[in-house]
Amino acid sequence: MKLISLFITVLIILLTTSGCISEREEPETYDNETENLSYEGKSLTPIAQQRNNAIKGTQYIDRESYRLQVNGLVEKPLNLTYEEITAMPQVSKVVELNCVEGWSFTAKWTGVRIADLFEEAGAMENATTAIFYCADGYSTSLDRDYLLENDIILAYRLNDVTLPPDRGFPLQLVAEDKYGYKWAKWIIRIELSDSPYRGYWEERGYNNTADVGGPELER
């Protein structure tokens, strides 16, 4: 019996360490907020297990002094505080982020619709491109029509906790069905333009459309 018990114990250890039996995922707490790991019946990837890329590491932005500028081809340029942004009507979505490196994760994102920002700023009809500038010098762009037709949001909450600094606080672009290099973090300015724009990775050869499943590089 002792040999059988020892065999079972060793077998459980081997299965657990090999990934055949996974440990129960426990939600973590961030600044006294506990993340949720499910939403409307969908499982969410814990923040601690979400992979992350950045060109200059994590940016730490002060909530009180932060301002989001919306300018370019607009009738009323905006200079919004964090509180003004979070006071706007909020939207929550479960969206999968896919990276060109081959990894992905699924999370609940809560934030403000870009369409609402454009409406408040009075986006001009000839504006076709939105350019997103970030605190670390990163930039990227997306077509205005894509942003409006897909109700794209700028997220300030992730899995029901305030966006952590390494995830892009105060704002991350939730670019549904686009590769991860379009998911700009630490956004400080949105410029509306009537011309195409190639951002950090696009200038280095990545496809400016960035559709998931489409070509990763320009041909």
Could you read off the pLDDT of 85-110 as tens digits, one per residue?
A: 999 999 999 999 999 999 999 999 99
The pLDDT assigned to 219 comes to: 73
In this structure, the number of other CB atoms found within 10 A of the CB of residue 32 comes to 7
The pLDDT assigned to 19 comes to: 37
Virtual CA dihedral for 188, 211, 177, 98, nearest 10 degrees?
Answer: -80
Q: CB within 8 A of 157, min separation 6: which ones? A: 109, 110, 111, 163
Residue ranges of domains in the chain, CATH in brackets = 36-204 (3.90.420.10)
pTM for the predicted model, two decimal places = 0.87
CA dist 84 → 18, 43, 87, 89 (Å) = 48, 31, 5, 10
The pLDDT tens digits of the residues spanning 126-138 come to 999 999 999 999 9
Local confidence band at 27 (pLDDT 50, 70, 90 cut-offs) = confident
Residue 174's closest CA among 197, 151, 196? 151
CA dist 171 → 45, 102, 138, 189 (Å) = 19, 24, 14, 11
Residue 95's closest CA among 44, 165, 35? 44
User: What is the rounded distance in angstroms from the CA atom of residue 149 to the CA atom of residue 144?
Assistant: 9
Residue 135's closest CA among 43, 73, 198, 69? 69
Residue 100's closest CA among 51, 146, 141? 51
